[in-house]
């Protein structure tokens, strides 16, 4: 492949279109000698003549006409690429593939998606709801652009995780167990009552089991449920003690369909964050969604 400055091709293209060095110089914002010099350098590199000078300007040689056919196609591709890039940067077109669990979709992501879609309605949004452990290989293979996840989470070395905000968790009960809310309960004593927890390997369950284990307790749930929402609903109707995120049940606490238990030791904060690949730059749609989320959570933090 010849090592030719691509600007020479652009100069050739404009000169061929205008048929005049002076007009080409005006279009290119170059001096006439600079345009002439670029054409000479291109002809020298190609080892052939592209133009013939006439009284009215310049005309293509037969070889130049054949060369122009290909340069015109190349320039059209470049112009199309520039236009497409502009559309992408302006978020007039594009797509974003988000990996996330169902709970986080409902309790965290929806308001941001509403805002994003309102401002960028032409961006295609794909939501893939799986466990975070299943989403990580999809992120690494490019099947999703970003993962929204509960923290902490031990990610592979090639994945970058950024925390957006803190959240608080608690053991909760319905009215049937309201007596338990009157005093603090040692963590180990929770096994004396029916426990309703999310199934492993959900992030929430892993977090809870690690917290209990670090305090010398192994929790033994009577019900292991795949859905966080079911944990909340089963707890509300009095089937036992559930584990919920306070930030997600503000309505239930206000309406007194759920009550928070005071447990010793207290449950530490955890977080919500996003994961992207370290070795790649997110597309413009993903960057914009991240910006929307981070600006809002920064205000709330």
pLDDT digits (tens, 9 = 90+) for 9-27: 999 999 999 999 999 999 9
Report the pLDDT value the prediction gives residue 279, as an integer from 0 to 100. Answer: 83
Report the pLDDT value the prediction gives residue 90, as an integer from 0 to 100. Answer: 77
Shared domain for 133 and 263, answered yes or no, is no
CB half-sphere exposure, 207, CA atoms < 13 A? 22
Report the pLDDT value the prediction gives residue 2, as an integer from 0 to 100. Answer: 64
Across the chain, what does the average pLDDT equal?
Answer: 93
Closest CA to 184 of 244, 241, 242, 261: 261
Tokens of 118: 């309102």
Q: Does position 168 have pLDDT exceeding 60, yes or no?
A: yes
Report the pLDDT value the prediction gives residue 182, as an integer from 0 to 100. Answer: 93
Shared domain for 182 and 225, answered yes or no, is yes
Mean pLDDT of 58-75: 93
Measured CA angle at 278 (ends 274, 282), to 5 deg:
65
Shared domain for 195 and 160, answered yes or no, is no
Shared domain for 118 and 241, answered yes or no, is no
Q: Does position 37 have pLDDT exceeding 60, yes or no?
A: yes
Q: Does position 172 have pLDDT exceeding 70, yes or no?
A: yes
C-alpha dihedral (36, 42, 43, 44), degrees to nearest 10: 110
- Any idea what the CATH number is for the domain that residue 202 is in? 3.40.190.10
- Inside any domain, residue 1: no
Among the candidates 31, 65, 89, a domain finishes at: 89
Among the candidates 42, 65, 89, a domain finishes at: 89
pLDDT in tens, 207-260: 999 999 999 999 999 999 989 999 999 999 999 999 999 999 999 999 999 999
Residue pair 195/208 in contact (Cβ under 8 Å)? The answer is: no
The CA distance from 211 to 118, in Å, is 40
- Inside any domain, residue 18: yes
- Percent of the chain past pLDDT 90, that is, above it, reads 81
Other CB atoms within a 10 A radius of the CB of residue 23 amount to 15
Shared domain for 202 and 219, answered yes or no, is yes
| Across 121-125, 214-218, 259-263, least confident range | 121-125
Among the candidates 89, 104, 137, a domain finishes at: 89
Shared domain for 242 and 193, answered yes or no, is yes
Closest CA to 166 of 255, 236, 269, 85: 269
The CA distance from 203 to 100, in Å, is 12
Report the pLDDT value the prediction gives residue 79, as an integer from 0 to 100. Answer: 83
- Compute φ and ψ for 48, nearest 5 degrees: -165, 165
Confidence of residue 76 (pLDDT cuts 50, 70, 90): confident
Shared domain for 62 and 42, answered yes or no, is yes
Element (H, E) at 18: helix 6-18
The CA distance from 170 to 224, in Å, is 17
Print the domain residue range for 124: 96-164+272-300
Confidence of residue 1 (pLDDT cuts 50, 70, 90): low
The CA distance from 275 to 41, in Å, is 49
- Percent of the chain past pLDDT 70, that is, above it, reads 99
Shared domain for 52 and 69, answered yes or no, is yes
Residue pair 148/100 in contact (Cβ under 8 Å)? The answer is: yes
Shared domain for 178 and 264, answered yes or no, is yes
Shared domain for 174 and 261, answered yes or no, is yes
Look at strands 270-277 and 259-260 and give their pairing.
unpaired
Closest CA to 269 of 292, 301, 298, 241: 301
The CA distance from 51 to 62, in Å, is 9
Residue 21 CB contacts under 8 Å (≥ 6 apart), including other chains: 15, 32, 35, 36, 57, 58
Shared domain for 217 and 261, answered yes or no, is yes
- Name the region of 142 (left: φ>0; alpha: ψ -120 to 50; beta: rest): left
Shared domain for 156 and 277, answered yes or no, is yes
Report the pLDDT value the prediction gives residue 87, as an integer from 0 to 100. Answer: 77
Q: How many domains does the chain have?
A: 3
The CA distance from 95 to 124, in Å, is 4
Element (H, E) at 96: strand 95-100
């Amino acid at each position: 492949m010849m090592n030719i400055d691509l600007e020479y091709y652009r100069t050739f293209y404009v000169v061929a279109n205008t048929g005049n060095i002076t007009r080409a110089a005006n279009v290119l914002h170059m001096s006439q000698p600079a345009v002439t010099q670029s054409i000479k350098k291109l002809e020298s590199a190609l080892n052939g003549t592209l133009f013939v000078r006439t009284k009215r300007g310049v005309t293509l040689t037969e070889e130049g006409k054949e060369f122009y056919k290909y340069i015109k196609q190349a320039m059209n591709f470049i112009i199309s690429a520039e236009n497409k890039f502009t559309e992408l940067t302006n978020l007039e077109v594009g797509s974003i593939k988000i990996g996330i669990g169902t709970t986080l979709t409902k309790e965290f992501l929806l308001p941001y998606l509403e805002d994003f879609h309102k401002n960028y309605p032409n961006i295609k949004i794909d939501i893939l709801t799986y466990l975070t452990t299943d989403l990580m290989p999809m992120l690494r293979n490019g099947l999703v652009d970003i993962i929204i996840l509960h923290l902490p989470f031990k990610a592979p070395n090639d994945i970058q995780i950024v925390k957006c905000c803190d959240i608080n968790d608690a053991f909760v009960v319905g009215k049937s167990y309201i007596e338990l809310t009157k005093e603090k309960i040692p963590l180990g004593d929770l096994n004396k009552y029916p426990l309703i927890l999310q199934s492993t390997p959900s992030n929430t369950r892993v977090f809870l089991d690690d917290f209990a284990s670090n305090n010398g307790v192994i929790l033994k749930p009577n019900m292991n449920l795949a859905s966080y929402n079911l944990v909340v609903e089963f707890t509300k109707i009095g089937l036992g003690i559930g584990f919920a995120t306070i930030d997600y049940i503000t309505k239930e606490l206000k309406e007194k369909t759920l009550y928070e238990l005071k447990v010793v030791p207290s449950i530490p904060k955890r977080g919500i964050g996003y994961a992207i690949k370290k070795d790649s730059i997110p597309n413009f749609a993903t960057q914009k969604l991240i910006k929307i989320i981070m600006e809002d959570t920064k205000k709330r933090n």
